[in-house]
Each structure stands twice: as structure tokens, then as C-alpha cells.
Amino acid sequence: MPELNVQERTSLLLPITEAAGLTTDQALARLGSGPGGLTGEEAERRLAEIGPNAVRTHRANGWAVLGRQFASPILILLLITAGLSLFLGDATNSIVIGVILLVSVGLGFTNEFRAERASEALHDRVTHRAVVLRDGATTEVDVTALVPGDVVHLSLGAIIPADIRLLATGNLLCDESILTGESLPAAKDPAAVQAGAALADLSSCAFMGTVIQSGNCTGVVVATGGRAEFGRIALGLGERQPQTEFQLGLKRFSFLLLQVAIGLTTLIFIANLLLQRPLIESLLFSLAIAVGITPQLLPAVVSTSLATGTRQLAKRKVLVKRLVCIEDLGDMDILVTDKTGTLTEGKISFTAALPATAELPGDTLLTLGLLATEADYTDAKLTSAGQNPLDAALWDSPGASGFDPGRYERLDMIGFDHQRRRTTVLVREAGGPPQLVTKGAPEDVLALCGPVAPAVQALLDEQFDAGSRVVAVATRPADGPGTLTAADERGLTLAGFLVFLDRPKANARQSLDRLEELGISVKIATGDNAKVAEKVCADLDVISGGTLTGADIDALSDADLAASARTATIFARVSPEQKARIIALLRQSGGSVGFMGDGVNDALALHKADIGISVDSATDVAKDAADVVLLDKDLGVLAEGVMEGRRIFANTIKYVLMGTSSNFGNMFSAAVASVVLSFLPMLPGQILLNNLLYDSGQLAIPGDRVDKEQLRAPSHWNIAFIRRFMFLFGPISSLFDFATFALMLFVFDAVPGEFRAGWFIESIATQTLIIFAIRTRRVPFVRSRPSAGLITASLGVVALGILLPLSPLQGVLGFDPLPVPFFLALLGMIVLYLVLVEIAKAWFFARAAQQVPTVPVRRRADTHHIARRAFRFSIPVKVPRITAGPGGHRRPGRRRTERIRSASPEQGTMRRSGG
């Protein structure tokens, strides 16, 4: 493949500020392109020379995954303890801690890397396409394959795939808030701007990552990947991702353990020094207590659970952009969803053209509808690129085959937007007089027409009552072949209605039942007429709590809407802003709100929701705003995801509650005994070995069964609840430890080796078997059966804990043989301990204090949106490093986060904001 010479390469690195000051012809010439775009061969040459249009890689990085394993405060504590033990000459402790570290890191790495590989494979199946001119013809290519010089066509809702110099626009407004922070859209025009203008003032350019809020445009790509302004910001953020609620809860829990460990360790160390115990022995014992009180394998248990969940969801074609989003999915208790494709089949078909008067033939009405499509009708029959679902259905209808595009000339167009909810075109047939044609939502189009005959209104109501989707078409003679404005949409004559049908899904009722069993309240938010949505719900036997229209919503205050939204089931004829407002108010109720949407008008709500859900066939802006992408749009699949998230959290909490309570009890017992006894109740190495065995048995928890009631409602991190649990069940564990101490000292008159062996066995037995009580609020085994893996692992650990002090290794481990009567006494104590725990468990969970508290409203930072938007510009290989170009192009490798500001130009075109 021939390479570009130096001059050609330089022309392709045209700074966007310079391109904005050139005319459209000059910009095309500088980029070696033309109105018809590049040839396919030239595009391949440039892609090989410049690199992909990517700012991220979704390739699983083994080294990065390995590094993340050591980010846990618990593992950091283990590392410090191992280092101190080795420095102080206690090789046994160092080896045991090293084994714990290897097991935890190894399991965490293996599971997370496998999960990332599965996510990588699913990511490759999600496509992000751009409509581009290649070889003079319209085609679709992956956004990462765009190169400077490509001519792209973009319409409403599209995410700008690169920094582009606009060539033509139609009422173009771009949402640049991801770069500027400004909520108001920026007007765009292809006219060249003054040289030296600030980036925020480049109205002749559109920036990568921003969204077309209204209108459409054609532009030539100027900068891709890390050379684009958004690319520099994304690269400046690096690969770090904002933390989810689950991660924040895990972090708060880890700090709770560190506080307890530091406090207890300090007291033990001081007490032993006051008792004039050897300094080194006291320090090592205190460090062993610090390690013993922490659930060392918590990171491994969490990653194992998440990896298991990811693999289960992958089988059901669910792409979770980040593993921890599975937990957020399980938190959901309110789902707001669109209607199309979730409750209906999503296969929209054109059924009829119903003229408003007998004088207008049906095929003429269909022709008017075809003319009023935003896509170029000259090749609309050949490709569906750029078409919305209703237009695509119109062009797929048998009547469209007779349409002759050569007979018509389009003079101008006002594209669809969600405020006007219509498209208007100015067309002329075979040199005849120009005609204005408007097509859109019946309510909005009829408002521009004269009085509607009762028969026509009855016809429209009949279609709505039947559940049909209806588009109205109206016309009038144009004043002249001038430029269209919104003010020209007046004095129209209704031509008729285009009727479409989208049938309810056969399995929708079953999916709704499953969501209901999970305690999820399902609400419908649609741009359709209220009667259409109500008909679909009636067909599916959905009991409606009421309907709110867009007009109703605007008339309500936030407080009134919050109350009404909690009971209403259907939100009809709602705008994107109204959907987002509904989501925000539902979140304030304390619930976790999921939003499922696939259209342009869903992006705002997807960003506002706690968990955004979209589908592979969704518009670009919807897919990028989502945390979870379903490769099949099915509420049943979503229910599986929710169950998986809740199952993971339930099993994680099992380990947390068991570990904190029994560990705290045992370490508290050791602390007291170390002060009272004349010898250490257990050697540091024995404490660590005890914890290693105990934790190893809990690795089966991620595969444990979960009671149905634990899946019926979401659970959340509650540090106060964990603390209360620890301070109740920990002392119960200590009570039986003290009983064991008394048994060994006063009944068996045990020497230190016997004492340690007896407590080692009692400790491993009680804290391992307690999992069967703590794993459920029911009566264990009778009403809640654990998994076979958990039973096998737990009993195996207890057996090994009993055998070690009796094995030939007893001398090496510091144990002495135990009398046979001890084991009979041990059996009685274990039975009594489990009975007492069951009584305490029933009392604990019956108290009002254990009810789940209100969850605070969660807010997402800008970095969350940037990270999600960057998801689309990713490739399955390492993103090449980008060197500086002409005109002062900076290197993304400098890791600066920069935002375009709409401040005065004298403040500079860019500002640093950290990173």
C-alpha cells in the first residue's frame, strides 16, 4: 500500500481552528477531498497512515486487571503486614500471608480477566456506524474507520463522529454540553468564521462527541481520534472510570474494617507492652489480629461473583459496559421504558394511507409522505441509512415501489425535532409550482390546519383506539422557492393520515410478570398518543395507575409531578426534557430508577437514570448514554439481569456479614485472652492459617443459592447495619470462645500447645459452620438449602481444621495432641452455638432498626458521561500513541483534561481543569 508523502500527511493534520476559517471548497482542497468524498482505496491508505478514529481500547488488558487487584485497602494491609513480618524475622507469618495474597489476587485476576474477555467479545458485536460518502455513493462504515477527508451525513440524534468542518446545514443545533458544560444548544452554519476565533465560537465546525439536537448536516472530517478535541479530553482522563454505588459501598466497608483493625491492634499492642511481653512477639501478634479481622478474600469473592454474573448475562446477549454495572442493575426498583420493541414487536409496518377527502387518492397521500422524509429520497429505496423507523416502513411498503424520484425536486427542508414533532419540506414536481408538505404527529400537524371535520377526527380516533401509530400529512402551495423557516408552517390543509402498526409482543406479559415478582414497578414513557399506549397496555392486561400527557406534566409543579409520577403508569406525548424530569423526580423518592430507551429522545433520560439500558439497534446517542446494552430487546432478558445483580449482591453480603461477625468475635477473644493469659492464646502463624482455611471455604459463596425473598427487592450497602450485625454476632462468637478457654484451662488443664489446638479447632468449626445460619433469614436446611458446593467446601474446611492439629504437622504448627473428650464437648458447644445464633438472628431481623433506610439521591459527574461517550470510539487493540501535529497540536499523552469554554476569547481557547 503506498504511503502518503510528507506534504500529503501535513495536509491531513489540519487544525480545526484553521479549517473553520477556510471556505468549504478550501477546506475540502486542503484535506485532499471533494463533495463526493474519498475513494475507498484512498480511505484505506489514510486509515493505515493516521490510525483509527479511537480514544479507547476495549481489549482486555491483563496487566491492568492485575494492577487493580492491589487497589483494595484490605490487600494493602496484607502487603504491609507481610513486609513487616519478613523484616522482623517471622518467615512463617510472611509465607502464610503470601499464600493469602496469592490466592486472593489469583482468583480476582482470573475471574475479572475472564469477565473482561467476555465483555470484549460482546463489545465487538455492538456496532457504531456513520453515514459517509465513499466513491461518490452513500454507505455506512464503522465510526472508528473514519479518516480526515471523509464526507459524512448526519441527522437528528447523531453523535458527531469526529471533528468536522461543516459543508451544508439544515437548521442545525448541536448539544455541546459534554465539552462546554453549556445546557443551551449551539447554532451551526457552514459560513467561515474569523481567523483566531476561540473553539467555542467555531460555528462552522462540529466537534466529536457532541450531539445533533435538531436539524442535519453534511461535513468533512478534519480530525479523528486523539487529535479531536473530545479525544484529547478522553485520553486525558486515561482509562479510569467513575465509581458506582456498589464500589463506593465496598470502599466505605473497607474503611470501616480498617478503623476497627487499627483500633483493636493498637489496644492489643499497648496492652501487651504494658504486660512486659517481648516487643517483636507483641507486634507480630497485633499484626496477625489486624489481618485476622479483615475478610481477606473479599476482593476475590466480589470479582468471582461479578465474573459469574457476566458470563451468565453474556449467554443471554446482555452487554454490561462495566462489570460493576451488574450491581446497579440489581438495585433497580422502578423501570421506565419506551413501548416500541419492549411491549411491542418493534417491527413497524405501514398498513394504510387514509385521505382526509375523497378527492385525494391514497397513492398521492403516500407520495406526499415519501417526499417529506428526511433521508435523500433519490436513493431511499436502495438504503435505509439515515431513516427513522416510520420512514423506513414507508419506503418498504409496496406502494413506494412506484415512486419516481426523478419527477420531484426538493428545494428546502426543516428537519424533525422533538419540540415541533414534524418534518417540513419544500418540493416541486416536474418544474411546477413549489409546494410545502408537512408530516408529523397528528396533534401538532392538525394545530396548523383549519377546522377539522368531525368525520376526520372520528377517523383519527378510530385508529388510535385500535392501537395504530398515525402520522398526519398536510400541504399548502408555497409562497415561492425561497428558504423554509418554522414560521412557514401555517395555513395548511390536511391531506390525510398514514397508518402504521406495531403489534404487542407475545411474551411481553410473561416478562412483565417476572419484573413484578422482582418488585419492579414498570412505567411507560412514549411519544405516541395516549390512546395508543393505553390500548397496548390493555392488550397485555397491564393494570394502569393512570396516564399523564406532556401537557399534564408541564402544568404540574415538581412536588405534584413527583407524587403523580409514582402512581401513574403511562406518560404519553412526552418530550425528551419531560422524560428526564420524570426520571429525576422518581429518583428523589429514594428508589433506584432504570430507564430503557433506544431513540434520540431517550438520551437525556438515559443520562438521568441510575441505570441506563438500551439495545444494539438503538440510535447512537441512546446506545452511548446507556450502561447496559441488550443485543435482544426483551424485558425478559432484563429481568434476568436484575436477578443476576441481586444474586451477586446477596452472596457478597453473606460473606461480609459472616466474615465481619465471626472474625471480629475471634479477634476480640484473642485480644482479651492475650491480656489475661500468661501466654498467647494462638500464635500469629496459627491465626493466619485459621483465616486462610476459613476464607478458602467461603469461595463457594458466589455460587450459592439465594432465597426468593432476597430477589424480590433490591439491597444496598448499609454500613450501620453491618456494624450492628458485627457487634451482636461477634460477641456471641466470643462467648463460645471464652467457654472453650474455660474448658481447656479448668477441665483439661491444658498446656499452651493443647490450648491453642483446642481453640484452633473450635474457632474454625464455629466460624465456618455459621455460614449456614447467616446465609438466610429462614431456618437453614429446612426452609433454605445451600448449594452443594458450599456444603462440600465448608465441611471440607472443618475436617481439615480438625485434622491439622492431629496430623504429623502438629509440631511444626505449634500444636499438641488433644484428649478425646474434648471433641464430644466441642460437638455440644457447636450445636448450642448454632441454636443461639438462630435465636439471635430471629430477634435481630425482627427489629425495626434493621429495615432498609431510604437511599440518597445519586448524582453523576461529568466524567461519567465522558467515559460512556468514549465507549463508542474504541477498538479491540491498543490505541496508537498520537504525536503532535502542525499548528501546535498537543500530545494526548500529556494527560490533561481540557474543556471548551464559552468565556471571552481573551481567556484563551482552552483551559486546563486538572487531570
Mean pLDDT on 871-895: 53
Please state whether beta strands 469-477 and 611-615 pair in parallel, antiparallel, or not at all (unpaired): unpaired
What is the C-alpha separation between 639 and 337, in angstroms, rounded? 13
**DSSP per-residue letters across 519-561:** TPEEEEEESS-HHHHHHHHHHTT-----EEEHHHHHHS-HHHH
What is the C-alpha separation between 227 and 381, in angstroms, rounded? 37
Residue 349 pLDDT > 60, yes or no? yes
CB-based contacts of 493: which residues, under 8 Å, 6+ apart?
Answer: 449, 450, 474, 475, 476
What is the C-alpha separation between 381 and 707, in angstroms, rounded? 54
Please state whether beta strands 151-154 and 129-134 pair in parallel, antiparallel, or not at all (unpaired): antiparallel
| Gyration radius of the chain over CA positions | 33
What is the C-alpha separation between 802 and 313, in angstroms, rounded? 40
Please, what is the Cα angle at 742 between 737 and 745, to 5 degrees? 120
* Average predicted confidence (pLDDT) for the chain: 80
Mean pLDDT on 877-895: 48
- Cell reading at 769: 459452620
Among 200-209, 417-426, 588-597, name the most confident range: 200-209
Each as own residue / partner, the long-range contacts of residues 373-380 (CB below 8 Å, 24 or more positions apart, any chain) are: 373/423, 373/439, 374/155, 374/156, 374/216, 374/413, 374/415, 374/416, 374/423, 376/138, 377/403, 377/405, 377/408, 377/410, 378/405, 379/138, 380/405
Question: How confident is residue 833, by pLDDT bands cut at 50, 70 and 90?
Answer: very high
Q: How many residues does the chain have?
A: 915
The 10 Å Cβ neighbour count of residue 155 is 23
Question: How confident is residue 4, by pLDDT bands cut at 50, 70 and 90?
Answer: very low
158-171: pLDDT as tens digits:
889 999 999 999 88
- Is the alpha carbon torsion for 85, 91, 96, 100 positive or negative? positive
Backbone angles phi, psi at 669, to 5 degrees: -60, -45
What is the C-alpha separation between 742 and 755, in angstroms, rounded? 10
Mean pLDDT on 207-212: 86
In the 3-class helix/strand/coil scheme, how is 145-186 assigned residue by residue?
Answer: HCCCCCEEEECCCCECCCEEEEEEEEEEEEECHHHHCCCCCE
Residue 298 pLDDT > 80, yes or no? no
What is the C-alpha separation between 536 and 555, in angstroms, rounded? 26
Residue 429 pLDDT > 60, yes or no? yes
Quote the DSSP letter at residue 5. Answer: P
Question: How confident is residue 791, by pLDDT bands cut at 50, 70 and 90?
Answer: very high
Task: Enumerate the H helices of 442-525 as residue ranges.
Answer: 442-446, 454-465, 508-517
Identify any residues that bridge with 524 across adjacent strands, giving them in sequence order.
337, 570
pLDDT at 431: 73
- Is the alpha carbon torsion for 202, 203, 205, 210 positive or negative? positive
Return the residue matching grid coordinates 454476632.
Answer: 729
- Cell reading at 445: 400537524
> Greater confidence, 750 or 281?
750
Question: How confident is residue 498, by pLDDT bands cut at 50, 70 and 90?
Answer: very high
Please return the burial class of 563, using the count of CB atoms within 10 Å of its CB with bins 0-12, 13-18 and 19+: middle
CB-based contacts of 785: which residues, under 8 Å, 6+ apart?
Answer: 705
Catalytic residue annotation:
338
pLDDT at 683: 78
| Amino acid identity, position 744 | M
Identify any residues that bridge with 522 across adjacent strands, giving them in sequence order.
335
Cα distances from 779 to residues 264, 307, 713, 835, in angstroms, run 33, 30, 20, 11
55-77: pLDDT as tens digits:
877 666 777 777 777 766 666 76
Cβ pair 170, 215 in contact under 8 A: yes
List the single range of 32-41, 243-252, 360-369, 785-794 with lowest mean pLDDT. 243-252
List the single range of 95-104, 171-180, 885-894 with lowest mean pLDDT. 885-894
Neighbouring C-alpha atoms within 13 Å toward the C-beta of 65: 23
> Greater confidence, 248 or 652?
652
Cβ pair 582, 558 in contact under 8 A: no
List the single range of 305-314, 363-372, 464-473, 551-560 with lowest mean pLDDT. 305-314
List the single range of 204-213, 374-383, 488-497, 850-859 with lowest mean pLDDT. 850-859
E-strand spans in 156-284?
A: 163-175, 186-187, 205-206, 211-223
383-416: pLDDT as tens digits:
555 567 788 888 888 888 888 888 888 888 888 8
- Cell reading at 205: 465546525
Chain centroid to CA 490: 44
pLDDT at 507: 84
> Greater confidence, 315 or 887?
315
Please state whether beta strands 434-440 and 469-477 pair in parallel, antiparallel, or not at all (unpaired): antiparallel
What is the C-alpha separation between 116 and 97, in angstroms, rounded? 28
What is the C-alpha separation between 341 and 632, in angstroms, rounded? 9
> Greater confidence, 151 or 251?
151
SS3 call for 282: helix
Of all residues in the chain, the percent with pLDDT exceeding 70 is: 82
Question: How confident is residue 638, by pLDDT bands cut at 50, 70 and 90?
Answer: confident
What is the C-alpha separation between 572 and 836, in angstroms, rounded? 56
Mean pLDDT on 773-786: 88
Q: At what angle do helices 73-87 and 91-123 cross, to 10 degrees?
A: 150
94-113: pLDDT as tens digits:
777 777 677 767 766 776 67
Question: How confident is residue 93, by pLDDT bands cut at 50, 70 and 90?
Answer: low
SS3 call for 690: helix
Residue 596 pLDDT > 70, yes or no? yes
pLDDT at 124: 65
Residue 915 pLDDT > 90, yes or no? no
- Cell reading at 219: 461535513
Backbone angles phi, psi at 519, to 5 degrees: 75, 25
pLDDT at 888: 40
13-58: pLDDT as tens digits:
788 888 999 999 999 999 999 988 999 999 999 998 888 988 877 6
Question: How confident is residue 798, by pLDDT bands cut at 50, 70 and 90?
Answer: very high
Cβ pair 367, 403 in contact under 8 A: yes
Please state whether beta strands 611-615 and 593-596 pair in parallel, antiparallel, or not at all (unpaired): parallel
642-664: pLDDT as tens digits:
888 888 888 888 888 887 777 77
Please, what is the Cα angle at 135 between 129 and 138, to 5 degrees? 40
Residue 376 pLDDT > 80, yes or no? no
